[in-house]
């Protein structure tokens, strides 16, 4: 069996991962990989607890970016109806419903390249309102400047989601309207403002295993690991550039979760988009590999997610319990 190098015990937080080390993790026999990721998971987290977040698209469609996977890009004809920023009261009503259904974090997404300062006024009010409901808050609004990040922090924002999406090399196959470095700059502004970072990517866009290794390497060598690492399986949307991508092998997806868990031992790893197309067995393997967060509720931003009743049964079958806020 490939044992870890003696100077580093699995479970130690490191920022000096080499791409080769990460590629070697991906190449492990499956059982060895999962054994190691599950062992790391148990060092830092309660083994059977999963954090629950609910998503809401507060501003949908008509986005000027050309992200090849996205239903909301104006470059794609997906039949999605664009809408304006939602009213604050409506957002808070949805947050209350999510809280009462058991979500501890409410994540609000807007299809913007970057927010205008006027938009930020409304988003800050939403953040304040959701916090007053006793929930954690997360927003994903595109690129941010330093002062914009400071404003969100001032409103009490807990997490900002901004994904690197894929490896630096594969990135230009997916997005041309903003660069990998633009994304790193936004992450730095978020980090400097003292907001928790939620950053991950997508698997199943036609990338190679080496790109998955490159994506995890970019995340695991950030100066601080993102507190939350969403691993999305591509939701194929008709009319998008990547809508006809080849089917993703679930084992490749589980491997990506496991490598994220080993390389970022203290981060929440979110089994993010794609659960609606996954068997219970694949999801169980993801939890075994160290995923400990999900999106809950029948809609992600624009695409479907499993029924709540299905998730309740799945949790019961697996003996998984939702994580309380202060655990």
Residues forming contacts to ligand SAM in the complex (CB under 6 A) are: 69-70, 109, 111-112, 140, 142, 162-163, 165, 202, 232, 234-235, 237, 273, 301
Which partner from the list ligand SAM, ligand SF4, ligand DTB, none does 234 bind, CB cut-off 5 to 8 Å by kind?
A: ligand SAM
Name the active-site residue from 36, 63, 255, 286.
Answer: 63
Query: Toward ligand SAM, which CB reaches closer, 70 or 197?
Result: 70
User: Does 61 participate in binding ligand DTB (rule CB under 6 A)?
Assistant: no
Residue 13 CA to its chain's centroid (Å): 20
* Total Cβ atoms within 10 A of residue 132: 11
The angle formed by the CA atoms of residues 295, 187 and 218, to the nearest 5 degrees, is 85
138 is catalytic: yes
Q: Which of 267, 320, 289, 291 is nearest to 38 (CA)?
A: 289
67 is catalytic: yes
70 is catalytic: yes
- Output the smallest distance, CB 271 to ligand DTB, in A: 11
- Output the smallest distance, CB 195 to ligand SF4, in A: 18
Per DSSP, the residues of 236-294 read: --TTSTTTTPPPPPHHHHHHHHHHHHHHSTTSEEEE-TTGGGS-HHHHHHHHHTT--EE
Q: 193 Cβ partners below 8 Å, 6+ apart? A: 146, 149, 150, 152, 153
Q: What are phi and psi of 56, to 5 degrees?
A: -145, 130
SS3 label, residue 314: helix
Residues in a beta bridge with 271: 231, 294
d(CA 97, CA 46): 27
Query: Toward ligand SF4, which CB reaches closer, 73 or 267?
Result: 73
199 is catalytic: no
Sole window of 21-29, 117-125, 277-285, 296-304 interacting with ligand DTB (rule: CB under 6 A) = 296-304
Name the active-site residue from 36, 107, 212, 261.
Answer: 107
User: Does 109 participate in binding ligand DTB (rule CB under 6 A)?
Assistant: yes
Interaction site with ligand DTB (CB under 6 A): 55, 71, 107, 109, 140, 161, 163, 200, 230, 232, 235, 272-273, 300-303
**Catalytic (active-site) positions:** 63, 67, 70, 107, 138, 198, 270
């Amino acid at each position: 069996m490939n044992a870890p190098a003696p100077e580093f015990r699995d479970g130690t937080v490191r920022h000096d991962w080499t791409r080769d080390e990460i590629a070697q993790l991906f190449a492990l026999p499956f059982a060895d990989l999962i054994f190691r990721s599950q062992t790391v998971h148990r060092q830092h987290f309660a083994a059977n607890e999963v954090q629950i977040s609910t998503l809401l698209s507060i501003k949908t469609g008509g986005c000027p970016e050309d992200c090849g996977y996205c239903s909301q890009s104006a470059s794609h004809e997906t039949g999605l109806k664009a809408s304006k920023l939602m009213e604050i009261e409506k957002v808070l009503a949805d947050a209350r419903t999510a809280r009462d259904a058991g979500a501890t974090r409410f994540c609000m997404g807007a299809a913007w390249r970057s927010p205008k300062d006027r938009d930020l006024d409304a988003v800050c009010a939403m953040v304040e309102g959701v916090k007053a409901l006793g929930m954690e808050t997360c927003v994903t609004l595109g690129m941010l400047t330093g002062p914009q990040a400071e404003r969100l922090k001032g409103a009490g924002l807990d997490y900002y989601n901004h994904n690197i999406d894929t490896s630096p090399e594969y990135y230009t196959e997916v997005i041309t309207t903003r660069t990998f470095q633009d994304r790193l700059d936004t992450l730095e502004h978020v980090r400097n403002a003292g907001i928790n970072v939620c950053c991950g990517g997508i698997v199943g866009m036609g990338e190679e295993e080496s790109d998955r290794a490159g994506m995890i390497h970019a995340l695991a060598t950030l100066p601080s690991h993102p507190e939350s690492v969403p691993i999305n399986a591509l939701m194929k949307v008709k009319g998008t550039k990547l809508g006809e991508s080849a089917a993703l092998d679930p084992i490749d997806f589980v491997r990506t979760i496991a490598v994220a868990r080993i390389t970022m031992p203290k981060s929440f790893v979110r089994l993010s988009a794609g659960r609606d197309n996954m068997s219970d067995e694949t999801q169980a393997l993801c939890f075994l590999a160290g995923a400990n967060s999900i999106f809950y509720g029948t809609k992600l931003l624009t695409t479907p997610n499993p029924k709540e009743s299905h998730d309740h049964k799945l949790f019961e079958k697996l003996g998984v319990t939702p994580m309380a806020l202060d655990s």
